[in-house]
Structures are given as C-alpha cells and as structure tokens.
Amino acid sequence: MFPTKAKTLHRLLRFRHTVWCSPFGKASSSRLVLGIETSCDETGAAVLDETGEILGESLHSQKDVHLRTGGIIPTVAQQLHRENIERVVQEALERSNVDVSQLSAVATTVKPGLALSLGIGLEFSQRFVRRHSKPFIPIHHMEAHALTVRMLQPVSFPFLVLLVSGGHSLLAVARGVDDFLLLGHSLDEAPGDTLDKVARRLSLIKHPRCSMLSGGQAIELLAKDGDWKKFRFRTPMGQSYDCCFSFSGLRNQVTMAIMKKEAEEGIEQGTLLSCVNDIAAATQHTVARHLAKRTHRAILFCKANGLLPSSSPTLVLSGGVASNQYIRKALTIITDMTGLHLLCPPAKFCTDNGVMIAWNGVERLREGKGILSPNVDVYYEPKAPLGVDMTAEVKAAAIKLPSVRMKILN
Ligand code: KG4
Ligand code: ZN
C-alpha cells in the first residue's frame, strides 16, 4: 500500500474511533485537543485524546543554541519559534493521523513566559483557530506543569505540587483544574537558573564531560564525584518561617567561593578549577536542602489546615530541576517522614512540551472551563501568578521545622 493510502485509511479508522455510537444510541465522541507551547525555549505541539493518549507530538528545542550563547536571548528565542512553529504543529498533526477537522479544541500557553516567545504561539494559534473555526483554550504554563501527572496516573485533587525549573519555582496545593493555592514562590531567581549561572561561572561548557549538558545536568554529574562538605554554603532564608524560596544569595556565596579559589590557584575566570566537583556538590546540596525545607513547611501547613486528604496525601514534583536524583532523594526524606507519597513524572514530561498543554486543554474541555470561541481576542501575560496567594497566611503561621538529618546518598 502507498504511504498516502495507508495514511488515509488510518485517518478514516481514527475518525470511526473518535465518533461512535454509544450503547444508548446517542452519538458520543472521544474529543481531541491540539496543544501548543512556546513560552520559553521549546516549540512544542501534540494531539491528545480525552483519555490522555498521545496520538502525535513534535518538539523543537532551542537549548543547544542558548547553551552556546550563554543564556536565552529573547529575540533569538522568538526567531526560532517563528521558524519552527508551523512545521512542529504540522508534524504533530501528521504523526497523529488526525485531520484538523477532527479537533475539538486548540490549547495554547498564553502565560507566564517570555513575551516574545508567548507572542509567536498565541499569534499562530489565533490564526489557526479562526481559519478552522475551532474553540480556543488559553493555558497557564504552571497549571499545565502541575496537572501533567494526572495524564500518567490517577491522582485526585487535592495534592501538593513543587515546580522547579529554569524559569519557575513554586509550591502550591492543586485543588482542581483551575483551583490552586499558592503557598510559596521564588523571591528572586529559579533554582534551574541558579544552577545554569553557577555552571557558566565555572565554565563547565569547557569540561569534557559537560559540554553538551544544561547547567543543572552538569552540576548533577560533577557532584557525584564531589564532596559537599568542602564548601559549607548557608541554606537560604533560615530565619524566614515561610515557604518562599531565594537562590540569588546562594549564587553570590558560590561566586565568592569560586573567586577565592581562583585567587588561591592563581587562575583566571574562564579556566576550570580543580575543585569544580566539590563546588558542584555543595551547590546542589544547598539547593536540595532549601527545597526540602520549604516543602517540609508547606506539608506541615497543609496538615495543620486540612488542605490535603488524610489518606495517601501526595506531593508531585515537576519541572526541569525535578529530574535531579539528588534533589528527589532529599524530598523523599521529607515525604517519608511526613507520610506523603512522592510522584515525579518522567523527565520527558517534567520539561516543557506540547503534550502537557494539550492535556491541560483536555482537563479544561472535560470540565467546560475557559473554552473560548475562536474570535475572542486573547492577550499573553509574561507574568501571571498561579492561583490564590496564600503566602501571607503561611508566613503568619511561622511554622518551625523539626530538625531533620539530611543524609542524602549520591
Ligand atoms: O523545565 P525546563 O526544561 O525549562 C524551563 O526552565 O522551563 O527546565 C530547564 C532547567 C534548566 O535550568 C536546567 O539546568 C535544569 O532545568 N535541569 C536540571 C537538571 N536537568 C535540567 N537541574 C538540575 N539537575 C538536573 N538533572
Ligand atoms: Zn516550564
């Protein structure tokens, strides 16, 4: 059979599968959603059905380009999204063997993120939904990260979620598809951003084992051969009894230690230090401790206020930094101690992609929440908090943590 014929047949079969007659004689359907993501440095698209089955996806990552330029340049990111979005969406549709006419809705990230990047996805999507007369579902990027786990396994609301990546760090209680309580967020930068900046300051791109890795991956790899006790960095915000994060002070401590070592070894910035493994280990250990402590307090706050179910309460860990095994172990110590169940989606679903956006679209479609007609004008929002801000209540509760022995095995 010619490939085009095979494709046509597959499409027809798919169509039969998506529109069927229920035993009650009423036409029923498994609705399909196209998801589009362009909030940062990944151009992603995917088609999902209502059960969460991924029918087709495509992802173009700009990470290599940004690694070479030493960070994301928004105009470069925008140009790369512009060059790739059409192809990525086309590929996702082709791989799914779904015709545009079969889609029930298009879901696209519209907040938060880089303005220039968000703009490309939104502009493309609005043209697309108008041309094909499809409902449009604007998506909050963090909501999508938080809900992805439900595509993979049955996790019911409410659950606690820790999102940590290059652009975000927050702790929230997910109570429903569009119902979140924000317990903590970063007051300055995100942990992945800190790890990326430390890696850059250490010139890890020149390290033979790290040249192709993101900052966080490079730090995790080198830390395996390092001793964190060689550099005792202070865990941030020890005197703030809330669940917010801060990483810029830690970065400052690390930079000072690097400068001291450079002076001692008589080398210039840009040359690899002999103690990179130890610095990587100490940085990673301090980030892990900080995340663990704030999460511990969030769990105690939730317990004190009945915000989580008494039977098998869950902590979901997601975002690019969540793939760090050392950080996972630190959080496991906390969840074991407090009786929570820790869930981490596989790395592929922790990072940015079109699948999580399509899934968020499915969740909203099922509940009939935030579905717009194609002609409604939608604007992107580079900054957009998630849910109801509870950070003042958390701070007022001033929960003191019991001491925990953080013996994290590498
Ligand atoms: O979710 P993501 O792909 O993109 C956003 O930032 O939204 O996360 C990328 C971030 C980068 O900062 C990267 O250094 C960090 O996640 N990262 C890691 C690891 N893998 C990626 N950080 C720590 N350990 C890792 N294994
Ligand atoms: Zn993200």
Residues 72-102: pLDDT tens digits?
A: 899 999 999 999 999 999 999 999 999 999 9
For ligand 2, the distance from its centroid to the CA atom of residue 142, given in whole angstroms, is 7
Q: Is the CB of 215 under 6 A from ligand 1?
A: yes
Q: Return left, alpha or beta for 70; rule: phi > 0 is left, psi -120 to 50 is alpha, else beta.
A: left
Is 27's pLDDT higher than 50?
Answer: no
CB 183 within 8 A of CB 252: no
CB within 8 Å of 334: residues ≥ 6 apart: 292, 295, 296, 299, 340, 404
Q: Is the CB of 192 under 6 A from ligand 1?
A: yes
Q: Quick one: average pLDDT of 332-340?
A: 97
Query: What pLDDT score does 291 carry?
Result: 98
For ligand 1, the distance from its centroid to the CA atom of residue 14, given in whole angstroms, is 36
Is 37's pLDDT higher than 90?
Answer: yes
Is 321's pLDDT higher than 60?
Answer: yes
- Percent of all residues in the chain with a pLDDT value above 90, rounded to a whole number: 86
Q: Quick one: average pLDDT of 340-367?
A: 96
**Torsion sign across C-alpha atoms 42, 35, 217, 292:** positive
Query: What pLDDT score does 217 carry?
Result: 96
Q: How confident is residue 198, by pLDDT bands cut at 50, 70 and 90?
A: very high
CA-nearest residue for atom 23, ligand 1, is 216
Query: What pLDDT score does 114 carry?
Result: 95
Q: Bigger pLDDT: 205 or 410?
A: 205
Query: Residue 173: enclosing H or E segment and its boundaries?
Result: strand 169-176
Model-level pTM greater than 0.85? yes
Q: Residue 257's closest CA among 270, 275, 271, 272?
A: 275
Mean pLDDT of all residues in the chain? 92
Is 277's pLDDT higher than 90?
Answer: yes
CB atoms within 10 A of CB 130: 13
Is 252's pLDDT higher than 90?
Answer: yes
Query: What pLDDT score does 66 carry?
Result: 86
Is 287's pLDDT higher than 50?
Answer: yes
